[in-house]
Structure 1
Amino acid sequence: MPEDVDVRTVVGLLDDDYARDILAAASEETRSAKELAEAIDASLPTVYRRVDDLVDAGLLAEETELRSDGNHHSVYVTTLSRVELALSEGTFEMQLETKTDVADRFTDMFERL
């Protein structure tokens, strides 16, 4: 998770139906923005806005998928696996648990080719 992401940002994203649906869909397998839009029944601009916010917050990762025809495109995968909020002495503290880092997923992607 980026260091500058605060509790309000993450809670705000998790309060958004589209953002939650994107996280759920991208937790099953990597998906392109178009595939996410179809999976959650949302417009492509809506998906791109939420994807940008989720990537900025470190809850979603963007990867480049290479195809056998030489073309490539962006796909997204959920990095979030657990959120823990605690209230201590008048302030909220948040801990995010994420899945393997992007480098590990990149290695996994090449092993599947």
Structure 2
Amino acid sequence: MVRNPQSGAEAPGLQSVLDALDDADCRTIIHHLDEPMTASEVSEACDIPMSTTYRKLDLLTEASLLAESTEIRPDGHHATRYYVDFEAVEIGVTADQTLAVDVTRPARSAEERLASLWSEVRKET
């Protein structure tokens, strides 16, 4: 399932962001994702077992720190690619003295927005 935090979903929760950033494997994945990768490519690059890789990718995606896109392949075996979907994460104190998180997203090109839209359409079919 391809999830897109830009598709109108709520902002990530403070605890989910903190949990993801507190995890050493998650930080390693973010460090290695300088370009979109499949789960198996992430597992190999980070030297993390596949089962753990999937759990960490889910944790990062749920925190809206990673996004997914679908690579359409001619043979019909499509692949999900993961990429870093933030430029900055800021934790601050609000006026009522509670913690809040703000995730700054990268600017999207027209091609990236179209690819994201296509991924959303593929989810619905």
Correspondence 1:45 to 2:51:
yes
What stretches of structure 2 of length at least 5 have no aligned partner?
117-125
Greater strand content:
1
Query: In the alignment, which residue of structure 2 is the partner of 1:18?
Result: 25
Q: Report the CA distance between 1:71 and its aligned residue.
A: 3.2
TM-score by length of 1: 0.80
**RMSD over aligned Cα, in angstroms?**
2.5
Higher RCO (C-alpha under 8 Å, 6+ residues apart): 2
Percent identical across equivalent pairs? 31
Residue type of the alignment partner of 2:57: V
| Alignment CA distance shift 1:108-1:58 (3 Å) | same
User: SS at 1:80's partner residue?
Assistant: coil
Q: What does residue range 92-111 of structure 1 map to in structure 2 within 5 Å?
A: 92-100=99-107, 104-105=111-112, 107=114
Contact 1:80 1:98 in 2 (8 A): yes
| Alignment CA distance shift 1:75-1:106 (3 Å) | farther
Q: Report the CA distance between 1:19 and its aligned residue.
A: 0.8
2:13 to 6, 9, 12: 6
